[in-house]
Structure 1
Amino acid sequence: MPTTTPHTAPRRILFLTPQLPYPPEQGAALRNYSLICQVAQRHAVSLLTFAAHDAAVRGPLHALCQQVRTVPPPGRTRVDRLRTLALTRLPDMAQRLHSPAFVAALRDMVTREPFDVLQVEGIEMAPYARLVRQWLGENAPVLVFDDHNAEYVLQQRACLADARRPARWPAALYSLAQWQRLERFERAFCREADVVVAVSEADALALRRLDAALRPLVVPNGVDIERYHPGLPDSIPLHHPAVVFTGKMDYRSNVDAMLWFHRRVWPTVRRHVSAARLYVVGKNPHRRLAPLRSDRSVTVTGWVPDVLPYLGGADVVVAPMRTGGGTQLKVLEAMAAGRPLVTTSFGAEGVGLVPGRHALVEDDPERMARAISRLLTDAAAAQALGAAGRELVVERFDWSAVAARLEAVYAAI
């Protein structure tokens, strides 16, 4: 890969994203918005995305981008998903955002303006990149595929996690089918892309397992180290000692994490620290979280205008991920805020942290409970852990440094 040069000529870059990147309230939107903010400082960025029409006028995207076009997100029912499963060999993600209106908008944009780069944010957008190649042939822009997760690995992990519980066997079978289909689909699209971007070394390795010839560029998730900082105020305030989890709460990996945590870890924490309170912070709580809602020691917030007050009030942040992949933004945000973090091996993946120094990493529920309880009762240990985590994130995961890795891609065009 060519080295970055400060004299790279501005490129015309069209981002395709699965949702409006602003407000950046969850993982994909945070990554997309942060990359656009950085890339737009040096290049002419356009954006085509899914959003309610009135959403497009909110926020700073129009100031950042040459043009922003939105299409209403398509509806997709369980029947639609089952139809894809029964009648095609495609993974659900390949059909999830099928929209004739998006096709029309995309064709209009790429035929009106000769873009240098088509940056596809997430595998859901892969079918649209293929259309651009069909329409423009040799004149198609360079295709950069930002694979937010090694998606086949997520389905593999979900399948194996659900297979342990008989009540979840139907979900495990569905994930098994998606795992197999995504292996084929992800391999094929990675081969088609001119540049494949992975969010962690672990994801890059997973993609190379699909095809040893692939050479993914690692551009990790980052964090706004000025927005997320030590000393955030406990402005709500929370009931203390407070244990906090943040994330979009209809996302399968987050739901699984908190159901497991509440069932296997939280009762032991409460036995050690009876006054402890758990805050589950994030929009669209799934109905499977009903046991947490009925627990008086747990607050399930639903949507909140800002997660910062919850991080400011957190005595400990947890990320008990058992599935998922990539680099967890919730982990980076907690560490940037200087909060002591307890996570799992999956939660720590891609961060390069040293367990025991930057965060406590435990996969066993009893050991995780003891780790949380110790931090809740040892302020000095909690402060030292949070400070070390902050130092690591500032050094490696500031968005300006992360996005600079893409400059080598643009410079090579």
Structure 2
Amino acid sequence: MEDLLLLIHRIPYPPNKGDKIRSYHLLKHLAQSYRVHLATFVDDPDDWQHVARVEALCASSHFAKLHPLRARVRSLGALFGNRSLSLDYYRDASTKQWVDQAVQKHKIARVLVFSSAMAQYADAYPGMRRVVDFCDVDSDKWRQYAEQKSWPMNMLYRHEAKQLLAYERRVARDYDAALFVSQPEADLFRQLAPESVDRIGHFNNGVDTEYFSPLPPSNSPYQPGEQAVVFTGAMDYWPNVDAVQWFANDIFPQLRARFPALHFYIVGARPSAPVTALGSLPGVTVTGTVPDVRPYILHADVAVAPLRIARGIQNKVLEAMAMASRVVVSPQALEGIDATPGTELILADGAPAFVAAVAELLETRNATIGPAARRRVETQYSWPSNLACIGEQLECS
């Protein structure tokens, strides 16, 4: 086996948690063909319990403790130096030292970088075969934030959008391949970085269809007699916060007026203060962290993804589809997912359309959409087939 350096911004475990899904399956896939030397950060105290599981997949590893508040404060210095805040956020001397020593000790000739901020640790090795999985066009996410926020945050977000895009373009230009999570993300970056068109590609996320399955059945977490609409996701992530605020305030009251037994469940870890406040609204429940999100998806009458800001592929949509749920999505949440609206899920653009779509599903209990969604995921979103291109990119000369 050859040695491979793998750089990931957050510990890639647990494998069913948000942005860790893709990185975990990457690590697991690469460990079958390479001796993997992993450098990553741990920014959640609860995640230290997963270190042993990740170490077992690696030939060597380095886990750097990251304090989110301290990192945010430290990254503000980038505002005065025309640098990306994201790079300063993840800049760490111990990680750089470990990477340099690992490269020298094991004579590593290949590196896979997961997320743009980690490329700073591979920039010093132009002689390596370097592949970056950007996942999303993060700079465009910051641009969207700037459009939604008022001063002074819009100024900060515009700075980050500009500086991070400049760095993303440099990485794509200098590296051997730049990959994204979907065709639309890759197409967008081709427009933003035309000098690197030939290096830009993508591979879709997958879904663990054995884990996210409608079988075996589980006990319902909902109260007898109530109808449930569910949203799942990390609830300290601003696009998710914006989505549930919009749904709870502008969409759900109209639905509850028609369906008095309807309840809106917001299921996800680390709910921010604005999300927690939604729990005081009639019929809205904010669960916080739950032991297992699957019963909430399986027993909901409708799963919703009303995102107005989004980049890349929404795992929450694929997971609900894999569980044969009836899913209503915004255009932003559907971006990058190859599914047929009206057959495998319902597309709703705007509050009136969301009200109409959810109401129709509650009234008709359409029995065909869920199984069709499950079939789509099984045939098109397999991790082994989608990850096959990684080895090809790493081995190209």
The 1:237/1:54 distance shift into structure 2, 3 A limit, reads: closer
**How far apart are residue 38 of structure 1 and its match?**
2.0
**How far apart are residue 59 of structure 1 and its match?**
5.3
| Corresponding residue for residue 361 of structure 2 | 375
Q: Give me the whole-angstrom Cα distance separating, in 1, the residues matched to 2:184 and 2:74.
A: 32
| Corresponding residue for residue 32 of structure 2 | 41
Q: Does 2:157 correspond to 1:175?
A: yes
Matches within 5 A, 1:182-261: 182-212=164-194, 213-214=196-197, 215-231=199-215, 233-239=217-223, 240-261=226-247
* Residue deviations 1:8-27 (CA, integer Å, cap 9, x gap): xx442221111111123533
Q: Does 2:7 correspond to 1:16?
A: yes
Q: Does 2:142 correspond to 1:155?
A: yes
| Corresponding residue for residue 287 of structure 1 | 273
TM-score (norm 2): 0.92
Q: Does 2:97 correspond to 1:104?
A: yes
Of the candidates 67, 74, 78, which is equivalent to residue 84 of structure 1? 78
Q: Give me the whole-angstrom Cα distance separating, in 2, the residues matched to 1:102 and 1:58.
A: 16
| Corresponding residue for residue 117 of structure 1 | 110
More displaced stretch, 149-158 vs 55-64? 55-64
| Corresponding residue for residue 393 of structure 2 | 409
Of the candidates 351, 355, 362, which is equivalent to residue 365 of structure 1? 351
The 1:146/1:77 distance shift into structure 2, 3 A limit, reads: closer
| Corresponding residue for residue 254 of structure 2 | 268
RMSD of aligned alpha carbons: 2.0
User: Which SS does the other structure have where 2:101 is aligned?
Assistant: helix
User: Which SS does the other structure have where 1:82 is aligned?
Assistant: helix
**How far apart are residue 28 of structure 1 and its match?**
2.1
- Does structure 1 conserve the Cα–Cα contact (< 8 Å) formed by 2:14 and 2:50? no
Q: Partner letter of residue 57 of structure 2?
A: L
**How far apart are residue 411 of structure 1 and its match?**
3.4
**How far apart are residue 156 of structure 1 and its match?**
2.0
Gaps of 5+ in 2: none
Q: Partner letter of residue 176 of structure 2?
A: D
Q: Give me the whole-angstrom Cα distance separating, in 2, the residues matched to 1:236 and 1:385.
A: 21
- Does structure 1 conserve the Cα–Cα contact (< 8 Å) formed by 2:75 and 2:86? no
**How far apart are residue 341 of structure 1 and its match?**
0.6
**How far apart are residue 88 of structure 1 and its match?**
1.6
- Does structure 2 conserve the Cα–Cα contact (< 8 Å) formed by 1:117 and 1:142? yes
Q: Give me the whole-angstrom Cα distance separating, in 1, the residues matched to 2:272 and 2:332.
A: 22
**How far apart are residue 129 of structure 1 and its match?**
1.6
**How far apart are residue 350 of structure 1 and its match?**
0.5
* Residue deviations 1:200-258 (CA, integer Å, cap 9, x gap): 11110111112223232211111101111123534242133111111111111111111
Q: Give me the whole-angstrom Cα distance separating, in 1, the residues matched to 2:258 and 2:78.
A: 49
- Does structure 1 conserve the Cα–Cα contact (< 8 Å) formed by 2:243 and 2:307? yes
Q: Does 2:58 correspond to 1:65?
A: yes
- Does structure 1 conserve the Cα–Cα contact (< 8 Å) formed by 2:341 and 2:347? yes
**How far apart are residue 56 of structure 1 and its match?**
6.3
The 1:370/1:122 distance shift into structure 2, 3 A limit, reads: same
Q: Does 2:304 correspond to 1:322?
A: no
Q: Which runs of 4+ in 1 moved over 6 A?
A: none
Q: Give me the whole-angstrom Cα distance separating, in 1, the residues matched to 2:175 and 2:303.
A: 38
**How far apart are residue 54 of structure 1 and its match?**
8.2
| Corresponding residue for residue 6 of structure 1 | none
| Corresponding residue for residue 298 of structure 2 | 312
- Does structure 2 conserve the Cα–Cα contact (< 8 Å) formed by 1:53 and 1:70? no
The 1:171/1:290 distance shift into structure 2, 3 A limit, reads: farther
The 1:316/1:234 distance shift into structure 2, 3 A limit, reads: farther
TM-score (norm 1): 0.89
Q: Give me the whole-angstrom Cα distance separating, in 1, the residues matched to 2:81 and 2:56.
A: 42
| Corresponding residue for residue 95 of structure 1 | 88
User: Which SS does the other structure have where 1:130 is aligned?
Assistant: coil
User: Which SS does the other structure have where 1:14 is aligned?
Assistant: strand
Q: Give me the whole-angstrom Cα distance separating, in 1, the residues matched to 2:151 and 2:251.
A: 23
- Does structure 2 conserve the Cα–Cα contact (< 8 Å) formed by 1:28 and 1:148? no
User: Which SS does the other structure have where 1:27 is aligned?
Assistant: coil
- Does structure 2 conserve the Cα–Cα contact (< 8 Å) formed by 1:161 and 1:322? no
| Corresponding residue for residue 297 of structure 1 | 283
User: Which SS does the other structure have where 2:91 is aligned?
Assistant: coil
Q: Give me the whole-angstrom Cα distance separating, in 1, the residues matched to 2:300 and 2:2.
A: 43
**How far apart are residue 378 of structure 1 and its match?**
1.6
**How far apart are residue 316 of structure 1 and its match?**
0.9
More displaced stretch, 385-394 vs 67-76? 67-76
